[in-house]
Structure 1
Amino acid sequence: MRSDTVADPHKRPPFDHAMPASSSRRSGWSKIAATTFALSAALIGFILARSLAARQAAALPPTSAKPAIRSTPPSASTWDERWNALSTQPNTTALTREREALLETLARTDPQRALSLADAEGNWLTRDQLRDASLRGWAAVEPDAAADWAMQQTVLGERMKCVAAVLAGATAQPDAALRVGLRLCTADPEPAGFYGHMLINALVERTGNFDAATRFATSANMIDRQSFLLDSAFYQWAQHDPDRAYAQLASLTDPTIRTSALKGLIEGRSDFDPRHFADFAQKLPAGADRTQALSISLQRWAGKDPVAALQWINRGDPDPDFDPGIAALAVSETLIAARPEVAMELTDNISDTTKRILTKSRVFLDWAQRDPIAARRYAEAVEHPATRETLLEDLKSLPTGAGKSKS
């Protein structure tokens, strides 16, 4: 969950007396431990998923190299008997999959016949599935030839589906798949972003080759959505091996490319295992990477398991990099609805003064909209005069009738 801590621009400027001047940061921080138990009781059940550069073509390797993979041709009689037997049965999902497997095997040695048999299918949906299987088999051994056939399809939608099948099959030879993928993206720029995404997904899902997926995304500078491809590649890699994914960032010298890759890495691991990634992020050297990693991971963790996130934060000393996680906890709708006083106290533990003020104001106004009488009672009981007056002033920004005690 992302937390927006910016105050409503239509309200008056935020107050700067959120805490008494004598209050120490450590004192405020210690309130986390005091409120963890209350949060545990209050939040049980809280559950809150990326003009193109044609010059790249000149740098691509030649397409004349032939792949080395070859399949042993199936026995003609055995293959034909099985194909004919399946083709005479009522169409089912399982049967279609068997026919796909047969055509994918045949296409490795006789792609034209495989495509012809697929084209003879009467059901258009099944026909597309059989055609794609044939293209995957062909591309596994002759990716360039299969890609040339796919590019001859004049209808854009059909061409896109055919290219996606070719790229999936080509992943049997990752280096060839990258070369062919770059060539296709350059030759057909309009759907290049789609092609790139399909190749990255195929490399990950069919081969688990995250390094190849990353190399493709890094090289695909002819695609105007390259940042999305990098985000996607590192997002998936981070879910499986965040240490290697982070180590790969060292080879990325372009700041824009690195920013996209880091974003994908952080979000991928935070979505998959926020506790593990928070531990990982905390060990990073002080700097922008650590700040961004902790900021995103704690916000997402707070959305999934606020009690665990709060307990994790409470293990260490005050740290400005924890501010986004604390703010995300404080402004969560579930917490404000169940224990608004706890949410208000949590804001006192935010290190950054501006963020603390804005978050406190947001929590209080949300509370006042839900229960104006209770919010006014809380504001009137605040001991610090400046804070008390500011909260009471905030109540005046609410719609008429809200925030006023009933006589």
Structure 2
Amino acid sequence: PGPAKQYLSRVLLEKLAETDLKSAFSYAEGLPKLRSRQQALVVVASTWARSDRLGAINWANSIANERFREEVMNSLITVIGASNPEAGLDLAEAEGLFNSQTWGWTYTEIFANFAAVDPQAAVDRAMTLTNVDQRFGALREIMQTWSRQDPQGALKWLETFQSGNKDQLVSTVFRNWAEKDFDSAFLYVTQISDIKTKNNLLYTLGEELAQEDPNAAIALANSMPDGLLRTQLLGDIVRGWIERSPEEALKYIEGLPAGIEKNKILNAVVGRLSYSDPWSAMELAEKIPNGIYRMAGEITGGLIRKEGSQVALDWIDTLPDGSAKWRALQSIGWQLARNDPEVSVAYVDKISPGTARDNFIRNIASSWAQQDAFAAADWLMTLADGKAKQDAFNSINWQMANQNPEMALEYAEAMGKGDTQNNLLQRIAQNMVESDISQAEEWFRQLPGGDLKDHAMQGIVNGMMRSDPYRAAVFISEQPAGDAQSRLAVSVAGQWAQDDPDAAAEWAGSFTGDVRKQAISSVVSHWSRQDPLAAGEWVYSLPHDDSRENALQNYVSSTTWQYPEYAAAYATAIEDEKTRHNSIKNVANNWLRSDPDGTAAWLKRTDLPEEGKKEILDRIAKQK
């Protein structure tokens, strides 16, 4: 199977890299598909980093493709950070990735490893992060680790921490502490004087205690003052309790005095109970104002699982037309089609036309198609044309193409022209490419010209772009000029630029006229976000024509927000005066936030009218 083969290939490549690095690189670089080649090179470099960190880093820095270089560097950071967290973070910072948009679980995992060795040093390093979300993610992982070793030490540090996320970090510490030593954690909480903090932590402890002793957790919740927090905790406790011991939980609920708190607890319980005992859930829901309305979907799902499709449908029939019935139909459609498609199809005629019926049809088709896409398609063909039929077909076209592409093509040819046929053709073509590119190209060549062939072209290109952007580019270049070729050229140029901007740029420049202008702009839009320096130099080197002017405008627009200093270098080269002046204003207004002096010096050298300059310079002066 695919995943097993990929795993085995990775293991073997790692072994080869450990013993013969040169041969491992030779193998990886010889792979024909770009993405497979890149993935193999990442494996080799990561293995290399375990024995020669500096050598692997130097190799990664030699990669010309900025996006791939960053991918390799992230992998090296992961490997290095696993054994030496501080070194991994140092590398991330040196490479400019420490606060970048590529931040993810890799770095938070490194901080967790760091905390296991030196939690104080780990939090000190985390506090240097300027991105608030990233800093919180790192601190959360540190607290997870620190609280298992020394919860009171973690809490002592949190006393000095001032942030809106502080309560979440404190809760993390107490949750871990309670798992290890509930009594000590509870004693600590009872000595807290701040009522809000105390109640929040009692809530955390109550959730932990409920897993072992619901009655004790109820007693703890009842010790809290009346309010939303106490009610939420009681609901959480009873919701878990009813799964483990429904009779005891229901007895507790029956003993509660009537009122808002009881209703809220019932709301929390009904949804959970619906899955195991829908009839009891129904009885409880009837005791809550609008309970059936709110819980109709959950109850219906439970009835299907416990009693079967027909019982669930009979119950839905007892509901009056309105929101409760709509919720029930939303819930039942996919389950009903999976278990009993014939019953679900027959029930469609009982539903009044409208959104509920349309959604029910789509849910039936999607679920049925998982077992037999063409049986679902045959049923859809019997329905009247309209949005419901089109949406349902769109939800199953990928399953039709996967299960039997030849039969799917017959369906597509039998359909009338329109979006439904177009979407199915695109999916069939994409599926063929993913199975056998050469066979897909041969099939495409035999198609008659026209809309059908144009939409098949879209699907083939979509499939090629996932594995071989160069082949997609060659394929498009071979097609006759026209709207379909133009549209796809622009799309492929932009997508290809994410992996190989130099190649994409050269290819985009090979076109003429409006296609060239749009394709170049598409490349610039993506390239400028990855490597603004290289993208800007390339745009500036273009021949002075409409394509260059359009590319300059696109480059400045794409870089103004994130890289205003680069945008400034090219905004003044825009030939259209009105566009140039507007671009200069936009660049200045963004740049002044980070470098007011640099902005002012640059602005004075531009040809922006004095009135416009004065307005921005006055703003800079006030900012100082």
Q: TM-score range by the shorter chain?
A: 0.5 to 0.7
Equivalent pair of 1:136/1:166 in contact (CA under 8 Å): no
Answering whether residue 507 of structure 2 is matched by residue 346 of structure 1, we say: yes
The whole-number CA distance in structure 2 between the counterparts of 1:89 and 1:273 is 58
| AA at the equivalent of 2:247 | T
The whole-number CA distance in structure 1 between the counterparts of 2:548 and 2:411 is 52
Match of 1:215 in 2: 378
| Residues matched between the structures, number | 300
Deviation per residue, 1:89-139 (Å, 9 max, x gap)? 779x9xx79964xx7xxxxxxxxxxx6445235797988545433246666
| AA at the equivalent of 1:335 | A
What are the ranges of 5 or more consecutive residues in structure 1 without an aligned counterpart?
1-35, 47-83, 104-114
Match of 2:515 among 332, 341, 355: 355
Matches within 5 A, 1:6-405: 42=65, 44=68, 45=71, 87-88=246-247, 100=276, 116-120=279-283, 129-135=298-304, 140=309, 143=310, 147=313, 149-154=315-320, 156-163=322-329, 164-165=331-332, 168-169=335-336, 172-181=339-348, 183-185=349-351, 187-205=352-370, 208-221=371-384, 224-252=387-415, 254-256=416-418, 259-264=419-424, 266-267=426-427, 270=430, 275-276=434-435, 281-282=440-441, 283-284=443-444, 285-287=447-449, 288-299=451-462, 301-302=464-465, 304-305=466-467, 308-311=468-471, 314=474, 318-320=478-480, 326-332=489-495, 335=497, 340-350=501-511, 354-363=514-523, 378=538, 387-390=543-546, 393-394=549-550, 397=553, 401-403=568-570, 404=572
Identity of aligned residues (%): 11
Match of 1:28 in 2: none
The whole-number CA distance in structure 2 between the counterparts of 1:134 and 1:217 is 27
C-alpha displacement of 1:231? 0.9
Distance 1:137 1:346, change over 3 A: same
Q: Secondary structure at the match of 1:168?
A: helix
Which structure's CA Rg is the greater one?
A: 2
C-alpha displacement of 1:315? 8.1
C-alpha displacement of 1:296? 3.7
| AA at the equivalent of 2:357 | A
The whole-number CA distance in structure 2 between the counterparts of 1:335 and 1:167 is 40
| AA at the equivalent of 2:322 | L
| AA at the equivalent of 1:347 | A
Q: How does the TM-score come out when normalised to structure 2?
A: 0.38
The whole-number CA distance in structure 1 between the counterparts of 2:513 and 2:333 is 55
C-alpha displacement of 1:310? 1.6
Q: Secondary structure at the match of 2:412?
A: helix
Q: Secondary structure at the match of 2:320?
A: coil
Q: Which has the higher helix share?
A: 2
| AA at the equivalent of 1:174 | P
Q: Secondary structure at the match of 2:544?
A: helix
The whole-number CA distance in structure 2 between the counterparts of 1:172 and 1:365 is 48
Equivalent pair of 1:246/1:265 in contact (CA under 8 Å): yes
The whole-number CA distance in structure 2 between the counterparts of 1:362 and 1:275 is 25
The whole-number CA distance in structure 1 between the counterparts of 2:489 and 2:424 is 23
C-alpha displacement of 1:245? 2.0
The whole-number CA distance in structure 2 between the counterparts of 1:316 and 1:296 is 12
| AA at the equivalent of 1:242 | P
Deviation per residue, 1:227-277 (Å, 9 max, x gap)? 21121122332243333222222333x334xx314404534874x786337
Q: Aligned-pair RMSD on alpha carbons?
A: 5.0
Q: How does the TM-score come out when normalised to structure 1?
A: 0.55
Equivalent pair of 1:118/1:131 in contact (CA under 8 Å): no
Equivalent pair of 2:493/2:504 in contact (CA under 8 Å): yes
